């Protein structure tokens, strides 16, 4: 069974969404700030250190600020650095939805991203005069080339994979910000204008954000829905408490509960013709509690017209029956069950409304993540402190079985990874290092493909 659900729970399970939203990943960036602020130019001569810093800086821009598409960030020029440092944002017209929104702001917050931007300009970025003109690109690679949006996106993703084992892309981070803004707006912590500004900066409409970006815990929805009846909860509780302590309603003897005494709310639910000229056609269908029942016939009941002609011949019982017919009430109730039956009139003890969580008291429980499982217990490299694990026959065989069954899929590695994460039988087979992402699993897929040649 393929798992392609985009629900919040599934994203958390696959490590594509932090359990506690945007606030969960901020400490990972803050923990690296002392290292970044202490950098000297000789420290970033190695490419690894250079990429590590760039990864941290771009991750901070998407975690501590509201930013839009990668294309907009990538297009910033070296001349716009002053505006970023002094004002905290600059504008660009190079992004996917520029025809609709004209400009996309690129924002740096004052305490984190701005500090990292200062380190980048003063310490990390190249001093090559050819790359320091006003029109030069602001973001430069280790080799001195202009960075494209794909490279920036990879650096963002690599930071979270290495630091917190989360596969967060710039798109998912924008969704995190959207969800965070939606949650704060519902709690009344931000205004509607602030909420709508997030849509605009992200470069899409509110409807698009709701459909594709905002991820909400459905348990929050349940808690919020209880507010609908919040004003009546106290009255309901008091009534239930009164009923539960009332001796007259605690338990009614079965013998006193007769269906004959119950009101008939639907005058036509028995589908009985109330034309008294057809009363002779009615025959009893059920024997009630072993008592022989008798039904009036047409000769024993006078019609309304005959009653008016001969009032003296009418009896009180007949008059009552005719009046009930004239008022469209069913006078001929044929019980489908015994006329003596138990009726559940005992009211249970009231449940305190405070025992259910509300939007103010609800605390989300921790959801399962694929990393929670004991992966590779049957693998030959299980428990070994190694960065590279051997691909076993069982792993390759599992991948081969999936590929043969779902050969029509476009991205076999990604789809196979989802199945592995959700399959308990795959847990002891696969080494943890082989299933951290689809790129690593693709190595096993390539091994199987080569064996087929």
Cα distance between residue 126 and residue 110, in whole Å: 24
pLDDT of 28 strictly over 90: yes
CB 78 within 8 A of CB 121: no
Shared domain check, 47 and 70: yes
For residue 92, CA distances in Å to 71, 102, 103, 138, 172 come to: 9, 8, 5, 13, 22
The answer to the question of residue 339 being in a domain is no
Q: 59 and 187: one domain?
A: yes
Bridging pattern class, strands 89-92 and 104-107? antiparallel
If asked whether residues 210 and 356 sit together in one domain, one would say no
Please give the backbone phi and psi of residue 342, each rounded to the nearest 5 degrees, phi first: -70, 140
pLDDT exceeds 90 at position 321? no
- 259 in the same domain as 247: no
Q: In whole angstroms, how large is the CA radius of gyration of the chain?
A: 37
Question: Residue 335 domain-assigned?
Answer: no
The yes-or-no verdict on residue 309 having pLDDT over 90 is no
Q: Which of 190-194, 282-286, 393-397 has the lowest mean pLDDT?
A: 282-286
Spatial contact of 70 and 202, defined as CB atoms under 8 Å apart: no
Both 123 and 200 in one domain: the answer is yes
Where do we find the tokens 């760039």?
54
- Regarding whether 159 and 115 lie in a shared domain, the answer is yes
Calculate ∠ Cα 43-47-49, nearest 5°. 45
pLDDT exceeds 90 at position 336: no
- For residues 431 and 97, give the distance between their C-alpha atoms in angstroms, rounded to a whole number: 42
Integer Cα distance of 133 and 131 in angstroms:
6
**pLDDT surpasses 50 at 269:** no
Give the pLDDT confidence score for residue 244 in this predicted structure: 55
Question: Is the confidence at residue 340, as pLDDT, over 90?
Answer: no
Q: Return the closest-CA partner of residue 331 out of 267, 269, 379, 378.
A: 267
Say yes or no: 223 and 211 in one domain: no
Out of 2-16, 53-67, 410-424, pick the least confident: 2-16
Lowest mean pLDDT among 17-26, 58-67, 114-123, 320-329: 320-329
For residue 370, which of 429, 436, 445 has the smallest C-alpha distance? 436
- Say how many domains are in the chain: 4
Range 15-38 average pLDDT = 91
Q: pLDDT tier at 360 (50, 70, 90 boundaries)?
A: low
pLDDT tens digit string along 200-240? Answer: 787 655 555 455 445 555 555 666 666 666 655 556 555 55
Mean pLDDT, the chain, whole residue set = 75
Q: Which domain covers residue 319, as residue numbers?
A: 254-326
| Span 41-100, pLDDT tens digits | 999 989 999 999 999 999 999 999 999 889 889 999 999 999 999 999 998 876 555 555
Non-local (6+) Cβ contacts of 14 within 8 A are 167, 370, 418, 421
One domain for residues 192 and 307? no
Tokens at 279, concatenated:
């009363």
Say what the pLDDT of residue 436 is: 87
């Amino acid at each position: 069974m393929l798992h392609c659900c985009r629900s919040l729970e599934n994203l958390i399970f696959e490590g594509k969404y932090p359990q506690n939203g945007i606030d969960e990943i901020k400490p990972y960036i803050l923990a690296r700030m002392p290292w970044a602020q202490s950098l000297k130019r000789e420290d970033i001569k190695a490419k690894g250190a250079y990429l590590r810093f760039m990864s941290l800086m771009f991750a901070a821009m998407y975690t501590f600020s509201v930013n839009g598409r990668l294309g907009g960030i990538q297009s910033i020029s070296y001349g716009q650095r002053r505006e970023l440092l002094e004002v905290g944002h600059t504008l660009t017209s190079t992004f996917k939805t520029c025809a609709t929104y004209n400009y996309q702001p690129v924002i740096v917050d004052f305490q984190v991203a701005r500090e990292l931007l200062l380190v980048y300009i003063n310490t990390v970025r190249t001093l090559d005069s050819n790359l320091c003109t006003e029109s030069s690109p602001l973001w430069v690679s280790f080799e001195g080339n202009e960075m494209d949006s794909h490279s920036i996106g990879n650096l963002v993703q690599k930071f979270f994979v290495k630091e917190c084992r989360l596969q967060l892309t710039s798109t998912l981070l924008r969704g995190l910000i959207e969800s965070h803004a939606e949650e704060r707006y519902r709690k009344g912590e931000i205004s509607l204008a602030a909420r709508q500004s997030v849509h605009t900066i992200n470069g899409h409409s509110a409807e698009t954000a709701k459909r594709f970006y905002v991820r909400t815990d459905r348990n929050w929805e349940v808690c919020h829905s209880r507010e609908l009846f919040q004003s009546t909860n106290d009255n309901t509780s008091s009534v239930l408490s009164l009923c539960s302590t009332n001796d007259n309603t605690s338990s009614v003897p079965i013998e006193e509960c007769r269906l004959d005494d119950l009101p008939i709310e639907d005058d036509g639910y028995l589908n009985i013709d109330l034309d008294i000229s057809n009363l002779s056609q009615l025959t009893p269908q059920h024997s009630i509690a072993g008592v022989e029942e008798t039904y009036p016939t047409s000769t024993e009941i006078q019609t309304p017209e005959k009653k008016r002609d001969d009032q003296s011949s009418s009896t009180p019982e007949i008059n009552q029956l005719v009046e009930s017919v004239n008022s469209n009430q069913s006078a001929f109730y044929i019980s489908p069950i015994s006329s003596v039956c138990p009726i559940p009139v005992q009211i249970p003890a009231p449940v305190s409304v405070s025992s259910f969580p509300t939007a103010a008291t609800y605390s989300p429980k921790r959801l399962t993540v694929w990393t929670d499982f004991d992966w590779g217990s049957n693998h030959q490299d299980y428990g070994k402190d190694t960065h590279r694990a051997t691909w076993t026959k069982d792993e390759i065989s599992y991948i081969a079985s999936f590929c043969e069954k779902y050969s029509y899929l476009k991205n076999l590695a990604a789809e196979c990874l989802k199945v592995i994460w959700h399959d308990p039988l795959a847990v002891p087979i696969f080494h943890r290092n082989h299933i951290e992402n689809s790129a690593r699993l693709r190595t096993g897929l390539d091994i199987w493909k080569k064996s087929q040649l």
